[in-house]
Amino acid sequence: KDHCSRSEPPELRQSFLVTVAYNKDESPIKLNLGVGAYRTEEGKPLVLDVVRRAEQLLVNDQSRVKEYLPITGLADFNKLSAKLIFGSDSQAIQENRVTTVQCLSGTGSLRVGAEFLAKHYHQRTIYIPRPTWGNHPKVFTIAGLSVEYYRYYEPTTRGLDFQGLLEDLSSAPSGAIVLLHACAHNPTGVDPTLEQWEQIRQLMRSKGLLPFFDSAYQGFASGSLDADAQPVRMFVADGGECLAAQSYAKNMGLYGERVGALSIVCKTADVASRVESQLKLVIRPMYSNPPIHGPSIVATILKDRDMYNEWTIELKAMADRIISMRQQLFDALSARGTPGDWSHIIKQIGMFTFTGLNTEQVAFMTKEYHIYMTSDGRISMAGLSSKTVPHLADAIHAAVT
Ligand code: PLP
Over the stretch 227-239, which tens digit does the pLDDT of each residue have? 999 999 999 999 9
- Nearest C-alpha to atom 12 of ligand 1 is from which residue? 106
Q: Give the Å distance between the CA of 214 and the centre of ligand 1.
A: 8
Contacts of 162 (CB under 8 A, 6+ apart): 192, 196
Pocket probe for ligand 1: among 85, 188, 214, the residue whose CB has the most ligand atoms within 8 Å is: 214
Per-residue pLDDT for 11 more than 70?
Answer: no
Rounded to the nearest 10 degrees, what angle do helices 305-336 and 389-400 cross at?
A: 40
**Through-space distance between the first and last CA atoms of the chain, rounded to whole angstroms:** 32
Contact by Cβ (8 Å): 257, 293: yes
Residues contacting residue 334 through CB under 8 Å, at least 6 positions apart? 342
Whether 354 contacts 348, CB under 8 Å: yes
**Run of H or E residues at 172:** none
Q: Give the global pTM.
A: 0.94
E strand or H helix that includes residue 246: strand 242-247
Q: Is the CB of 131 under 6 A from ligand 1?
A: no
Q: What integer pLDDT is reported at residue 106 of this predicted model?
A: 98
Task: Check residue 32 and give its pLDDT.
Answer: 94
Give CA 377 to chain center in angstroms. 18
**DSSP 8-state symbol, 366:** H
Does the C-beta of 282 come closer than 6 Å to ligand 1?
no
Q: Which atom of ligand 1 is nearest to the CA of 104?
A: 14
For the Cβ of 374 lying below 6 angstroms from any atom of ligand 1, the answer is no
In 3D space, the residue among 121, 92, 89, 100 whose CA is nearest the CA of residue 268 turns out to be 92
pLDDT at 382 over 80: yes
1 is catalytic: no
Measured CA to CA, the distance from residue 190 to residue 209 in angstroms comes to 22
The pLDDT score that the predictor gives to residue 36 is: 85
Q: In whole angstroms, what is the distance from residue 288 CA to residue 281 CA?
A: 9
Q: Where are the beta strands (DSSP E) in 116-167?
A: 125-130, 146-151, 153-154, 159-160
pLDDT at 1: 35
Reported confidence tier of residue 2, pLDDT bands at 50, 70, 90: very low
Q: Is 249 in the pocket of ligand 1 (CB under 6 A)?
A: yes
pLDDT value of residue 78: 98
User: Rounded to an integer, what distance in angstroms lies between the CA atom of residue 285 and that of residue 86?
Assistant: 29
Alpha-carbon gap, residue 346 to 327, rounded angstroms: 6
What is the predicted pLDDT for the residue at 13?
60
Closest CA to 252 of 191, 295, 190: 295
Distance CA 36, CA 15 (A): 7
The residues with which 179 forms a beta bridge, in sequence order, are 212
State if residue 132 touches ligand 1 by the CB under 6 angstroms criterion. no
Q: Kindly report the protein residue whose alpha carbon is nearest to atom 4 of ligand 1.
A: 216
Q: Has residue 316 got a pLDDT over 90?
A: yes
Distance (Å, whole) CA 131 – CA 185: 10
Mean pLDDT of all residues in 224-249: 98
Per-residue pLDDT, 16: 76
Mean pLDDT value of segment 369-398: 95
- 108 CA: nearest ligand 1 atom: 14
CA–CA gap between residue 203 and residue 375 (Å, rounded)? 34
Contacts with 390 (C-beta within 8 Å, 6 or more apart), sequence order: 332
List Cβ neighbours of 61 (8 Å cut-off, separation of 6 or more).
none
Give me the half-sphere count of Cα atoms (radius 13 Å) on the Cβ side of residue 252.
32
Is 5 a residue whose pLDDT tops 80?
no
Report angle CA 223, 228, 233 to the nearest 5 degrees.
150
Q: Does residue 4 have a pLDDT over 50?
A: no
Render pLDDT for 334-371 as a digit per residue (tens, 0 to 9). Answer: 999 999 999 999 999 999 999 999 999 999 999 999 99
% of the chain with per-residue pLDDT over 90: 92
Best residue among 3, 18, 107 to mutate for probing ligand 1, ranked by most atoms within 8 Å of CB:
107
Distance CA 58, CA 296 (A): 8
Question: How many Å apart are CA 94 and CA 88, to the nearest integer?
Answer: 9
Distance between Cα 249 and ligand 1 center (Å)? 8
CB of 150 shorter than 6 A to ligand 1: no
At residue 135, does pLDDT exceed 60? yes
CA–CA separation, 328 and 386 (whole Å): 7
Indicate whether 107 pLDDT > 60. yes
CA of 303 to the centre of ligand 1 (A): 24
Is position 30 annotated as part of the catalytic site?
A: no
Percent of the chain at pLDDT exceeding 70: 97
